[in-house]
Amino acid sequence: MYVFIFTTVVVGFAACGVVLLLFRLWGRKAPKYVVPFVAALAMFGYMIWDEYSWFERYNARLPETITVIQTFTDENPFAPWTLISAPVNRFTAIDRDKMVINPGNPDAKRVTTLLLKKGAETLALTHLVDCATGKRGYVTADSTLDDNGFPTDMKEWFDMPADDPLRAAVCT
């Protein structure tokens, strides 16, 4: 967050410097309203660029083993341009290297999902996905694990619809 604020201020100062330099090269004095207007416009433009390009920049830095399975957008009435085209500000991904198939039941797979949101900590959740029944459950610290690292007593199962992104990514 501090880096974003610092960068935004630097962009504002840099834009003002360029405009003042251009006025000096032209041999004219800049009107008093130009400097704050240019600073505000540059900072506003940078904030919008950062918001809309965050997902692409973050996704490009992910290792190849991590696959994005779902993206989410949020519309904000205080940023009316998001009502036209909302930026991606969070996504769900899985780490294919950490996906484990149960040797006793090949339809049961343990997978770690990563929940990433701009400006927030990354959450990692471990799921047990049963591809045969289309159900998933959370592997928690209270789960009793067998020798292969799979839960022996899943307390709660959740049905996954056929078009569930987690189901599609793990079971195909």
Last residue of a domain, one of 46, 61, 76: 61
Q: Is residue 112 part of a domain?
A: yes
Model confidence at 1: pLDDT above 80: no
Domain range enclosing 99? 88-171
Q: Do 111 and 45 belong to one domain?
A: no
Q: Is residue 41 part of a domain?
A: yes
Q: Do 30 and 95 belong to one domain?
A: no
Model confidence at 144: pLDDT above 80: no
Q: Is residue 142 part of a domain?
A: yes
Q: What is the average pLDDT across 53-73?
A: 95
Asked if residue 160 lies in contact with residue 166, where contact means CB atoms within 8 angstroms, the answer is yes
* The two three-digit tokens of residue 145, written as one number: 């694990």
Q: Is residue 53 part of a domain?
A: yes
Q: Do 111 and 49 belong to one domain?
A: no
Q: What is the average pLDDT across 102-112?
A: 89
Q: Do 157 and 99 belong to one domain?
A: yes
Q: Do 107 and 44 belong to one domain?
A: no
For residue 155, what pLDDT band results from cuts at 50, 70 and 90?
Answer: confident
Q: Is residue 78 part of a domain?
A: no
Q: What is the average pLDDT across 26-53?
A: 93
Asked if residue 14 lies in contact with residue 42, where contact means CB atoms within 8 angstroms, the answer is yes
What gap in Å lies between CA 102 and CA 167, rounded to an integer?
A: 16
User: pLDDT: is 12 or 104 the higher one?
Assistant: 12
Q: Do 42 and 114 belong to one domain?
A: no
Model confidence at 8: pLDDT above 90: yes
**Residue keyed to tokens 């056929």:** 162
What gap in Å lies between CA 55 and CA 90, rounded to an integer?
A: 8
Q: Is residue 82 part of a domain?
A: no
For residue 15, what pLDDT band results from cuts at 50, 70 and 90?
Answer: very high
> Quick one: pLDDT at residue 39?
96
Q: Is residue 24 part of a domain?
A: yes
Q: Do 129 and 167 belong to one domain?
A: yes
> Total domain count for the chain?
2
From first CA to last CA, the distance across the chain in angstroms is 38
Last residue of a domain, one of 23, 43, 61: 61
> Quick one: pLDDT at residue 161?
93
* The two three-digit tokens of residue 79, written as one number: 């940023």
Mean pLDDT estimate for the chain: 91
Q: Do 33 and 92 belong to one domain?
A: no
Q: Residue type for 131, please?
A: C
Q: What is the average pLDDT across 55-63?
A: 95
Q: Do 107 and 38 belong to one domain?
A: no
Q: What is the average pLDDT across 13-22?
A: 95
Q: Do 98 and 158 belong to one domain?
A: yes
Q: Is residue 72 part of a domain?
A: no
